[in-house]
Amino acid sequence: MKKTFTLAKSHIYLLGSILITVGFVLGSIAQEKQKAVTQSMIAEAEKIIGLHFTEERRDSLLDEVNGNLGNYAEIRKIPLPNSTVPAFTFNPLPVGFTIPTKSSSFQTSTYQAVLPQNREELAFYSIGQLAALIKTRKITSVELTTLYLNRLKKYGNTLLCTVTLTEELAMEQARRADAEITKGKYRGLLHGIPYGAKDLFSTKNYKTTWGSAIYQNQVLNEDATVIKRLEEAGAVLVAKLSLGEFAMGDVWFGGTTKSPWNLKDGSSGSSAGSASATAAGLLAFALGTETYGSIVSPSTRCGVTGLRPTFGRVSRTGAMALAWTFDKVGPICRTVEDCAIVFKAIHGKDGLDASVYDAPFSYTPNVNLAKLRIGYVKELFENDKGYTTSDSAALTALRKLGAELIPIELPKKYPVGSLDYLIGAESAAAFDELTRSGKDSAFVQQHKFAWGNQFRAARFIPAVEYIQAQRVRSLIIEEMAALMKTVDVYVCPTTEGNNTLLTNLTGHPCVVVPNGARTDGRPISITFCGRLFDEGTVLAVAKKFQDATGFHLKRPPLVQ
């Protein structure tokens, strides 16, 4: 009996141990099921971030990961309109950099007030030429505004460059300009000059669509800072112009904006309508924005002149945010000096956009190229492309103007091309609600390179990797600062290499100007890059080249 009892007791102990073990396992399984994120999910997620943790470490971090989900849920309850900025501001200044403090000075060329027999010729006059006519009252702002409005109505639907005609406002502003000028109150070169604005700048009483069907009826009912400043300068807003949906490319809810040089081509983007309408003579100038090529690319495609200023030069208040550490506002015009005229009116602090620096802007067209250190990116000029001849001719033209060109290399120490996911992360945050709500299914484009997919993919960029990339960006800024100590301006083929991404990362200004055409007649461009906050010098150098070559005077076939 004793032996039997002992066996039974041992079985009871064994059974108890089994039950405890099973209970622990079942409890662990139940506990894991209660958590949104499990160890197995962490193991799979490690593949996305390129790391590997042990089971013990996965177990340790589970509570933190699941706790963060609750934090995310709380934050998502808070409405965050596109106008809400992050609590950080990008600083493009290298260590030791001092923002210029000298007084601003501004001098333009002298313009003759010659009224053409064919008034349609006025459509392709520069701002300076039009200003001379308006100031001397050889033509009124109302006449000029009517001319441009008629051209917008004639060609706008063909080019798909116009979202909204602001005709009522335009005629009101034009009449006011004429009345003021008649009374001797002349505001300056932009007084009475008609222009268009990329439809991501908010305007009172008119729609601001951001190029998206989702927002095609959105009225923000406030004027962006740049719109206010141009109104103060006396300019006349005639149209809100197309942009690729949410500032990508040239496809918007109204179709694909066309280049007036070839209607089979899109105008590129995202400042699609701004470049197309300016090239076609539908307005005197336009406002654009750039995050990564959105002024440079359409200016090239449409054969116009674009200025992308230094980061932090122009207020973005009232402009749709895409990527806070990249977005910049600049003009798209027919001439370099037109860009200088517009930039003078729109630059500077407004007390609202914390990213804007208080720095002077000085410009004069009277620059001696022989006294400047002008570099050229030797490697990019030697690439064997179909328009190498035009690129080489640009260098020849600069040398004839007295420039002693210095061969340079762009920074190569760090992987510039690997940092473009910074834009993806910021843009995904700017439009986070569309991704979480499923409204991204209403985007105009749905391919894998379109915003909807890009926003979703960006959700898998770890915050740590975003910050690490910004730290590498700081190193690139220092590299670029070292380069810019050796030159005042440098020139490079617009479409070659990674110069566009590089200078958008570092915040440097550039001017893109027409540089001839390809064999099929499509325009090409050349890019001049300058030092931080030194738009005046790079504009002056670009103007010398533009005046000597005259490519900007050619007109697209659509309007010849």
In the predicted structure, residue 25 carries a pLDDT above the cut 80: no
10: confidence class by pLDDT, cuts 50, 70, 90: very low
Domain count, the chain: 2
Q: What is the pLDDT of residue 560?
A: 67
445 lies in a domain? no
Same domain, yes or no, for 209 and 285?
Answer: yes
- Whether 95 is in a domain gets the answer no
Cβ(257)–Cβ(444) below 8 Å: no
What phi and psi, each to the nearest 5 degrees, are found at residue 480? -65, -35
Mark whether 61 and 128 lie in a shared domain: no
Same domain? For 208 and 260 the reply is yes
pLDDT for position 9: 46
- Given a cut of 50, whether residue 27 has pLDDT beyond it is no
Residue 218 corresponds to which amino acid? Q
CA distance 345 to 108: 14
Q: Among 76, 92, 108, which residue terminates a domain? A: 76
- Are 148 and 65 part of one and the same domain? no
Sign of the Cα torsion 173, 168, 341, 99 reads positive
In a domain, 152, yes or no: yes
Q: Is residue 55 part of a domain?
A: yes
Start-to-end C-alpha separation, the chain: 116
Is the pLDDT reported for residue 376 higher than 90? yes
Q: Are residues 48 and 151 in the same domain?
A: no
CB burial class (10 A; 0-12, 13-18, 19+) of residue 265? middle
Q: Which of 62-71, 268-277, 301-310, 384-393 has the lowest mean pLDDT?
A: 384-393
List beta partners, residue 527.
492, 512
CA 48 to chain centre: 29
Q: 375 and 243 in one domain?
A: yes
Mean pLDDT on 403-417:
97
Region 232-255: mean pLDDT is: 98
User: Is the confidence at residue 280, as pLDDT, over 50?
Assistant: yes
Q: State the CB neighbour count (10 A cutoff) for residue 21.
A: 10
Which of 76, 101, 136 lies at the terminal end of a domain, its last residue? Answer: 76
- 429 in a domain, yes or no? no
| 187 and 286, same domain (yes or no) | yes
Q: Is it the case that residue 463 has pLDDT exceeding 70?
A: yes
Is residue 332 domain-shared with residue 384, that is, in the same domain? Answer: yes
Alpha-carbon span 514 to 519, nearest angstrom: 15
Which segments of 341-486 are extended strands (E)?
374-377, 405-408
- At residue 344 the predicted structure's pLDDT band, cuts being 50, 70 and 90, is very high
Of 42, 76, 110, which closes a domain?
76
Q: Are residues 60 and 162 in the same domain?
A: no
Q: Based on the fold, state whether residues 70 and 123 are members of the same structural domain.
A: no
| Domain shared by 487 and 344, yes or no | yes
What would the mean pLDDT of 475-491 be, rounded to a whole number? 98
pLDDT digits (tens, 9 = 90+) for 425-456: 999 999 999 999 999 999 999 999 999 999 99
Question: Residue 389 is part of a domain; what is its CATH number?
Answer: 3.90.1300.10
- The pLDDT confidence band at residue 386, using thresholds 50, 70 and 90, is low
Task: Please compute the mean of the pLDDT values over residues 513-530 and round it to a whole number.
Answer: 95
Q: Domain range holding 51?
A: 2-76
- Quick one: pLDDT at residue 4? 43
The pLDDT tens digits of the residues spanning 56-109 come to 999 999 999 999 999 999 999 999 999 999 999 999 999 999 998 888 999 999
* Same domain for 246 and 187: yes
* CA angle (538 as vertex; 534, 540 as ends), nearest 5: 115
DSSP state, 371? G
Contact 226, 525 (CB under 8 A): no
252 SS3 class: strand
Of the listed ranges 33-47, 70-84, 136-150, 474-488, the least confidently predicted one is 33-47
513: phi then psi, degrees, rounded to nearest 5: -130, 150
Q: What distance in Å separates the CA atoms of residue 211 and residue 270, rounded to the nearest whole number?
A: 10
Q: Does any domain span residue 107?
A: no
Residue 388 confidence class, pLDDT cut points 50, 70, 90: confident
d(CA 518, CA 391): 11
Is residue 423 in a domain?
A: no
Reported as a single tens digit per residue, the pLDDT across 149-178 is 999 999 999 999 999 999 999 999 999 999
Q: Which residues are catalytic?
A: 198, 270, 294
Is 443 within the bounds of a domain? no
Averaged pLDDT for residues 460-486? 97
